[in-house]
Amino acid sequence: MQQSQLFDLPIVPGLELRHDFVTAGEERELTARIDAAGLEPFRFQGWVGKRLTASFGWRYDFDHARFGPTVPIPDWLLPLRDRAADFARLAPGMLVQALLTRYDPGAGIGWHRDRPVFEHVVGISLGAPAVMRFRRRRADGFDRATAPLDPRSVYHLRGEVRHDWEHSIAEMEIPRWSITFRSLSDKGLRALER
């Protein structure tokens, strides 16, 4: 797959990026708030990851494959959630889940697609620069693409990149933080009706 010029055409359809979404001062405040948010090691089917996380609004329990409500999104995150929704051209109330993550040295995130109970994914990258990697399986291998996640940048995954591609971030050598907001998919909304 040919990679296009950043901000000319999307690297992968459905991916939007913007640099300098928050200021350096906001970044310092946000990383301090994340560190004070009661982060716990990420758990996946009995395995404990190196990254630390906290979920608000809704959470997916990977140990028991359950989706359900958790503590509300804290007030200090709501203004950022509203800005993220504006960037993604969504109503703020659609972003009902917030995930705080701290990637300490040696932590990354493997290849995955976000759970199907979620639809739009809007992430703010803080601290160290990172590269988001994308891959899509084809008969003879993978299509691949990469996108830089500069400190204080924001990205939005929707449509093709959200549903047809996996993404990952390689292990980090220095700390990085992220705030990810998600909307519910039709599947997620149906799960709420049960």
**Position 3 pLDDT exceeds 50:** no
Q: Is residue 9 part of a domain?
A: no
Q: Is residue 7 part of a domain?
A: no
Tell me how many domains the chain contains.
Answer: 1
Tokens 């009706």 correspond to what residue?
193
- Per DSSP, the three-state class of 30 is helix
Q: Is residue 107 part of a domain?
A: yes
Q: Is residue 39 part of a domain?
A: yes
**Position 101 pLDDT exceeds 50:** yes
Q: Is residue 4 part of a domain?
A: no
Rounded mean pLDDT of 123-137?
Answer: 95
Q: What is the pLDDT of residue 116?
A: 83
Burial class of residue 40 (count of CB atoms within 10 Å of its CB; 0-12, 13-18, 19+): exposed
Q: Is residue 110 part of a domain?
A: yes
Q: What is the pLDDT of residue 20?
A: 96
| Nearest partner of 13 among 21, 23, 2, 22, judged by Cα | 2
**Position 186 pLDDT exceeds 90:** no
> Is the distance from CB of 36 to CB of 102 less than 8 angstroms?
no
Domain of 41, in residue numbers: 15-62+69-193
Q: What is the pLDDT of residue 50?
A: 75
Strands (E), 31-129: 40-44, 47-56, 58-61, 66-69, 95-103, 109-112, 118-127
Q: What is the pLDDT of residue 40?
A: 85
Q: What is the CATH number of the domain that holds 78?
A: 2.60.120.590
Q: Is residue 6 part of a domain?
A: no
Q: Is residue 183 part of a domain?
A: yes
Rounded mean pLDDT of 41-61?
Answer: 74
**Position 193 pLDDT exceeds 90:** no
